[in-house]
Amino acid sequence: MKLEKCITEKNVNQNMLNIQYAVRGPILDRAVQIEREIEKGVKKPFERVVRANIGDCHALGQPPITFIRQVLALAACPALMSSPDITDDVKGRVRQILEDCTKGSVGSYSPSNGLNVVRQRVVQYLTARDGVAASPDDIYLGSGASDVIKAVLSLFVQDIDGKPPAVMIPIPQYPLFSGTLSELGLRQANYYLDEEHDWALQVQELERSWREASQDSHVRALVVINPGNPTGQVLTRGNMEDIVNFAYEHQLFIMADEVYQENIISKPFHSFKKVMHEMGAPYSSMELASFVTCSKGWAAECGLRAGFVEAARLQRGVRAALTAARAVAQCPSVLGQCVLDCVMKPPAPGEASYPQFIREKKATQRTLTERASTAYREFNSIPGYSCNTIDGSMFAFPRVELPERAQLAAAELGLKPDEFYCLRLLEETGVCVVPGSGFGQLPGSFHLRTTILHPPDEFQHMMDSIRRFHTTFLNRYS
């Protein structure tokens, strides 16, 4: 009998075939191939690939915070407690964490929603940030924000009155959301940010999206990314009140992706929880899931996978369901929880680690601010490019005008115009960025997303390469 495959494209979970994640998509795959070709001696018109596809801060040169790494080292190897090179406040922090670990080891499981000491630290952080009391019962630690975002979205996988569930997400958006919706079989209801007004979120656009999606779906939740990814904008307080009011009128659960709050350059950050509280009843009683991560901001510990969700004001049975689902996953990384503990309560004035910590933090923030300013200036100086102000200092999402001949050439190859552009950019300069279509964009517009985290020389090399390429591209296709 002929051996047949048990899993085929026809009988595999069809939802998984629809997942797209452009950040690690075909452009990156080709970049990896090119790197291997260069290693084998294949001649290219450039010396190296510049990876600008993902916001991996440490991979792009951002130095780690010493306090965090010392806590991690001692937590993993308590024998280092005797070292005279480690300050007493680091040792004290590690003792607090290990006292909450089974047998004093970070190699043991923690409670499924996280170590109690770390969750209490999160409560203290949120209470101080918002001026609103937080509860440890609302806190679920995760292996990065991605982990708990998927957990919350899973709560909506249920038809209502014969209609499939839908979730409203911004366009452009971080493709974690579209990819997770595809995986879970949830419908995606797009609402477009207003690029002409600094990527503002217009309530009339929310109404349009809700109205159209409601024709054949039951819209359950509204995702808001603030600060924006990939757009980098920060919502105003008034805009947030309009959004909350919209969600209240349509009985929508708000999912607030607030992971870039530590990357804001000059504007004030308002959490949705704080805004809802200050709006008063009935808004202060609305359900909310707010997400924070250690992968961004001054910590930027992407690889250690640490984050949390504050799931506020859930019905008791819903909370029980979420808790049970988290228990199935055992627990998030305990070393990741150590990082979160440091971010929630960094060294304070008067503690031995504080002088070095504050120098390192300010240096990181200063560098990010400078790069955001440079990226804005450089992109807007390239003919055919336009870039809004970058308030959240991680990415640039410039718009680029593509000639009609280039769009036709892309169609002949079965590619989207901005995908074609980014692929040619990679092949001719070695610069790896992500086409805007991977995040969503208004039809007829074209963008690319790039990180702005590279060291100054590397970033300038990248910008010079883009400028030269774009000039050549226009000459070729105009």
Q: What is the pLDDT of residues 230-266, one digit of tens each?
A: 998 999 999 999 999 999 999 999 999 999 999 998 8
The CA angle 161-163-164, to the nearest 5 degrees, is 130
Residues 283 and 181 in one domain: yes
Q: What is the mean pLDDT of residues 438-459?
A: 91
Report the candidate in 276, 254, 163 with the shortest Cα–Cα distance to residue 206. Answer: 254
Residues 317 and 237 in one domain: yes
Of 292, 317, 344, the position where a domain reaches its end is 344
Q: Check whether 23 has a pLDDT greater than 70.
A: no
Residues 337 and 370 in one domain: no
CA-only gyration radius of the chain, Å: 23
Q: What is the DSSP letter of 104?
A: G
Residues 340 and 264 in one domain: yes
Residues 57 and 136 in one domain: no
Residues 336 and 383 in one domain: no
pTM: predicted TM-score of the whole model, two decimal places: 0.92
pLDDT band at 474 (very low <50, low <70, confident <90, very high): very high
How far is it between the farthest Cα atoms of the chain? Answer: 76
pLDDT of residue 208: 97
User: Residue 32 maps to which CATH number?
Assistant: 3.90.1150.10
In angstroms, the CA 333 to CA 142 distance is 8
Q: What is the mean pLDDT of residues 197-203?
A: 91
Q: Number of structural domains, the chain?
A: 2
Residues 250 and 368 in one domain: no
pLDDT of residue 316: 93
Of 286, 311, 344, the position where a domain reaches its end is 344
DSSP annotation string for 265-278: -SSPP--HHHHHHH
**Exposed/middle/buried for 236, CB within 10 Å: 0-12, 13-18, 19+?**
middle
Neighbouring residues of 341: CB distance < 8 A, sequence distance ≥ 6:
71, 93, 97, 115, 117, 118, 121
pLDDT of residue 195: 95
Of 314, 344, 374, the position where a domain reaches its end is 344
Is 349 domain-assigned? Answer: no
Cβ pair 376, 446 in contact under 8 A: no
Distances (CA, A) of 362 to 35, 62, 70, 265: 34, 12, 19, 12
Choose between 22 and 463: higher pLDDT: 463
The CA angle 384-387-389, to the nearest 5 degrees, is 160
SS3 71: helix
Q: What is the mean pLDDT of residues 17-36?
A: 81
pLDDT tens across 331-349, in order? 999 999 999 999 999 999 9
Is 400 domain-assigned? Answer: yes
User: Residue 300 maps to which CATH number?
Assistant: 3.40.640.10
Q: What is the mean pLDDT of residues 147-159?
A: 93
Residues 392 and 257 in one domain: no
Residues 320 and 364 in one domain: no
Residues 260 and 371 in one domain: no
Is 83 domain-assigned? Answer: no
Residues 265 and 153 in one domain: yes
Is 129 domain-assigned? Answer: yes
pLDDT band at 28 (very low <50, low <70, confident <90, very high): confident
pLDDT of residue 421: 96
Is 197 domain-assigned? Answer: yes
Range of the domain at 238: 98-344
Is 353 domain-assigned? Answer: no
Residues 373 and 445 in one domain: yes
Q: Check whether 55 has a pLDDT greater than 80.
A: no
Is 75 domain-assigned? Answer: no
